[in-house]
Structure 1
Amino acid sequence: MGTSASYPGPVGGSSADNRTWKRTRQRLTALGKQLDKVLHGPGGVNAAQQLLRDRQDDIAADLATGLRLHPSRVLLAEPITARARALVDTLDRLQLNGLAGIGVVGASPDERELQFMAAFLGDRSTGTVPDYAVRRGLRSTIDTALRDNAPLRQAVRSGNAGYRPPRDLFCAIFQMFFADAVRAYLRTVVAEHLKIALPVLYLDPTGLIADTAAKKLVSLVPNPCEEEHRRAGPHHDSLAGTARSLVVRAVSQILDLDEPGVEAA
């Protein structure tokens, strides 16, 4: 299934499971029609922005709740869990062996940036819509880390093969990934129901609603640095080991699945 395929969101389950999700889908479709109408009315973009501000939080709350209630959310658990574990492994190699240890050895700054991204993303593979969404989320995480962290960006572009990220960056990337993965998935769902012609420079309802919903979920993601501090002792785990131990908990809390269910996904 390609990323351009129509995707209505979770399907299946009982009528009770579907109730919140169905209501949210209907509200998204109605909002799209209202925004389209308001945009072409006398209030234009300003009126549409106000309408979106008035509705986005309520709809986002339903979206987050609907995702956590629906049984097919388990389809999202597997790719998030797998990508999170691979992310921790790559960050661990980066901390232990520097940029050269993850294959960032290119001859030019642009080549090294591509190698840095590839070290985290791996090969492109076919898969389900959740698979593609989680991969897009991971790409967003690494893009943001490179853009917003000057020492990391400088090390990659200058070819500082021995650069090792500080612990707080390790933990920030870990938490950011879960936010970006959920956000990318929800953007796919929201976009399917907001099929309107929008001036994207002024209004981004898909992004705003998905971002708001994602924030409601990823506040539950544990911080490996804080967890490691709590576990401090003569035999405490490494930061990477602590992060690995938190992956299943993070996924189970975001999707409201029990931990054995995440392990089995």
Structure 2
Amino acid sequence: MPCPAARPSLCGMESVLDHHDALALLTWQVELGATEAICDAPVNRYEMATESSAAMAPDRPAAPPAVPPRPVAAPVTPPAAPGIDPVAVARQAAAAARDLGELREAMAAFEFCDLRLGARNLVFADGNPRARVMVIGEAPGRDEDIQGKPFVGRAGQLLDRMFAAIGMGRAMSDGARADGARAIYITNVLPWRPPQNRDPKPDEVAMLLPFVQRHVELASPDILVLMGNISCNALLGRKGITRLRGQWAEVLGRPALPMFHPAYLLRNPHAKREAWHDLLMLQARLRELA
């Protein structure tokens, strides 16, 4: 059927449709499939279907929407309440520890560091707690996280060889001697492994530093060895291990010697010469303090 609008009276001419023209136009639109008139406002067909279903069964209560089961997730540490300072909480908990055993328990109970959620074990310390030398590393790695001891991976094996070269080691108890003259005691700034071995964040170091400081007070070594940038920045407030290494500093009233981290030496074997120089400096200082 030809379009009624093709008539001259409907194509651009200013004329009013008569009854026959209007009827012909409507008939043409119906043949094209237009069966409903356009309203002043859009109609939501989905709501109309819901209302029609409800009208067909007015006495039937509507079923509640299905709630998907909640996925089982690891427990999340609740955020600190407003006004609670994790550093202050850590300082109070650390100060209350009367010995190394209580300090370890206080660290395990500390809930404000999210690293504990992804770690397998708390890595506290290893070696002889009566040692004259206390080594402070950065954070546990994969092997340390599995075994719960610091410096047990490739870097730890190199550390053992380094100190064995000057007659010292973590396994030495010096027989009946209690002063730990040839022993070493090892810990880290962080007791939990960061994800993918990333560097610790400043807030993580800040909230765990009171435990490190109390650890030093309770172990009471003669000398501290700060292994790597993270431990130097935490306890000296300075970075740049290539500039700091081999230069004595003072930490918590004790002489402290910054040294290259064994992991750095594995990546940069040429720096082992400087590390050997630092070990000889440590050996000489121990003799002076004997």
Larger Rg: 2
TM-score normalised by structure 1 residue count:
0.26
Specify which structure has the higher proportion of helix: 1
Q: Which of the pair has the greater relative contact order for Cα pairs under 8 Å at 6+ separation?
A: 1
